[in-house]
Each structure stands twice: as C-alpha cells, then as structure tokens.
C-alpha cells in the first residue's frame, strides 16, 4: 500500500472514468456498497502502488494519472509488462489468483487511485455475476496479449518492437490533435523496457524512425508524423 495521503470519496457513478470502468454495469445498491468501502489514494510520480512479491491487500482503479507495471527479469533488468491509464484496474490478477503481485506498479505521474480492500471487494463480487464475467474477460484478454508479446519479443527485431510499443502508446493514451505528440512523456529507458531491449538499441530505433520521417523527437515528447507508415513498420 502506498503511504501517501488518502481520502474518502463517494459517488463512483460521478467519476469521470465511470463509463469506461469495470463497474459501469453495477446497480445503484452495489455502487453504494462500492462507495462505502473505497478510499482515494494520492500517489506521487515515481512512487509505488504495490511491489512485486507482495501479498495483495486490495484492488486498485486509476481515477486519474498513469501507471506502469514493471517485472524484474531473470537478467535483473526491468521489463514493462503493461501501461495503464485512467479507468484501468490493477491488482486483480493477484487477488483472483490468490497469489503475490507478479509485478511492481509505479506511478508515471502524480496519480489518484481508488482502493478497495480485498475482503470487502470479495463480498461484493460474490453477489454480482456481471462483474465476475467482466474480470474473467479482462484476465483472458491480458493472457492473450502476454502470449502475443512473448512471441513478438522472441521473433521480431528491435525496430519492429519499438514501432509496436509506439502504436500501443497511441492506442492507450492518444495523441494531441494539433501537434500529434503522444499524450504521455516517456523516457528512453521506459521505451526500452516496453520493447524488451537496451536503452541504446531503443534510442537507435527511435532515431531511425525519425530519419524515415515517421516520428519527431523532442526530449521525452514523441510526435507521430505518419501513423500509417509506423503501423507498416510493425509488419517487419
């Protein structure tokens, strides 16, 4: 559990992310129960929501901000296994698998997260079949994506993996309508950890995409100049 300040916050249904959240199918009574058990945590940039190997204490839902899930590889190098945004849940795999957290959740910017204690959340889902099915579907989609990523990392070049990572960031966070800059500032190290490569290799691939006129680089900002060609790069 993060040690930052927390506060009670009512009305899940009034949350800006409610329409895209896992909880948008709950009836008024269930939403009221959800309101009663949750707290809103304020997690500073760079601080952890939970750490790899820790026992899960509850479920988390991002109210605002961005979070990355980082897993320590056998070589001792971090690997970003998932990028999360407002409305996404985290901690569910450890809860439903009755296991420790398989990754560390780190805030990429100052983030507000709704926290639901484990036991109280269990009581809620036990009586809500639609919510259980939603989590089952989410787990299935995450497994499918993990299997695809294993194949990609083993068979594709670094340039292809960096291109796929950029497409993922576009799909997840979007880009500015005018400048076409990604709506997330991401370091070269994080780009490398997303693609399963070294910082140097990631930087070379980004420079190559820039040289081809597909992207533009400005510090941690990445501008997408030609999304169609970037998508074509993912085909190898």
Residue 26 belongs to domain with CATH number = 2.60.120.10
Gap between the Cα atoms of 86 and 70, Å rounded: 18
Return the pLDDT at 5.
55
**What tokens does 105 get?**
């959740």
Answer yes or no: is pLDDT of 6 > 60: no
Let me know whether 164 and 68 are in one domain: no
Residue where a domain stops, chosen among 153, 171, 201:
153
Let me know whether 191 and 105 are in one domain: no
Let me know whether 16 and 72 are in one domain: yes
pLDDT digits (tens, 9 = 90+) for 125-165: 888 888 889 999 999 999 888 887 777 766 789 999 999 99
Rounded average pLDDT over 164-183:
94
Spatial contact of 198 and 207, defined as CB atoms under 8 Å apart: no
Rounded average pLDDT over 70-75:
85
Q: What is the CATH number of the domain that holds 228?
A: 1.10.10.10
Answer yes or no: is pLDDT of 12 > 70: yes
* Sign of the C-alpha dihedral computed for residues 19, 21, 25 and 30 taken in this order: negative
Q: Which residue has the higher pLDDT, 6 or 46?
A: 46
Gap between the Cα atoms of 7 and 110, Å rounded: 15
Return the pLDDT at 147.
82
Half-sphere exposure of 175 (CA within 13 A, CB side): 20
Residue where a domain stops, chosen among 153, 181, 196:
153
> Which 3 state secondary structure label does DSSP give 176?
coil
Is residue 95 left, alpha or beta, with left meaning phi > 0 and alpha meaning psi from -120 to 50?
A: alpha
Spatial contact of 158 and 196, defined as CB atoms under 8 Å apart: no
Total domains in the chain come to: 2
Gap between the Cα atoms of 23 and 70, Å rounded: 25
Let me know whether 101 and 141 are in one domain: yes
Let me know whether 62 and 13 are in one domain: yes
Q: Considering only 8-22, 29-43, 70-84, 201-215, which range has the smallest mean pLDDT?
A: 8-22
Burial class (CB in 10 A: 0-12, 13-18, 19+), 19: exposed
- Give the range of the structural domain holding residue 18, as residue numbers without chain letter: 6-153
Q: Considering only 37-41, 81-85, 148-152, 177-181, which range has the smallest mean pLDDT?
A: 148-152
pLDDT digits (tens, 9 = 90+) for 178-193: 999 999 999 999 999 9
Let me know whether 17 and 133 are in one domain: yes
Residue where a domain stops, chosen among 153, 174, 195:
153
On whether residue 1 sits in a domain, the answer given is no
**What tokens does 82 get?**
């998932």
Return the pLDDT at 19.
87
Q: Which residue has the higher pLDDT, 13 or 208?
A: 208
On whether residue 84 sits in a domain, the answer given is yes
Return the pLDDT at 86.
93
Gap between the Cα atoms of 180 and 156, Å rounded: 27
Both ends of the chain: CA-CA distance in Å? 42
Helices (H), the chain: 28-37, 92-96, 118-125, 129-155, 158-173, 188-195, 199-211, 227-233
Give 173's pLDDT tier (boundaries 50, 70, 90). very high
């Amino acid at each position: 559990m993060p040690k930052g300040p927390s506060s009670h916050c009512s009305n899940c249904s009034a949350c800006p992310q409610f329409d895209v959240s896992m909880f948008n199918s709950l009836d008024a009574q269930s939403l009221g129960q959800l309101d009663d058990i949750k707290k809103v945590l304020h997690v500073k940039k760079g601080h952890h929501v939970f750490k790899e190997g820790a026992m899960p204490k509850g479920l988390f839902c991002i109210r605002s901000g961005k979070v990355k899930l980082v897993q320590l590889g056998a070589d001792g190098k971090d690997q970003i296994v998932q990028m999360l945004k407002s409305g996404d849940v985290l901690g569910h795999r450890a809860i439903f698998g009755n296991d420790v957290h398989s990754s560390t959740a780190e805030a990429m910017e100052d983030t507000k997260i709704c926290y639901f204690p484990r036991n109280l959340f269990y009581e809620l889902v036990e009586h809500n079949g639609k919510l259980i099915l939603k989590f089952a579907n989410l787990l299935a989609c995450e497994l499918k994506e993990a299997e695809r990523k294993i194949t990609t990392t083993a068979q594709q070049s670094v340039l292809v993996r960096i291109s796929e990572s950029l497409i993922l960031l576009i799909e997840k966070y979007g880009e500015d309508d005018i400048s076409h800059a990604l709506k997330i500032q991401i370091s070269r190290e994080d780009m490398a950890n997303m693609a399963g490569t070294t910082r140097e290799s990631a930087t070379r691939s980004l420079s190559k995409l820039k040289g081809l006129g597909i992207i533009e680089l400005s510090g941690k900002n990445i501008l997408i100049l030609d999304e169609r060609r970037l998508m074509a790069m993912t085909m190898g």
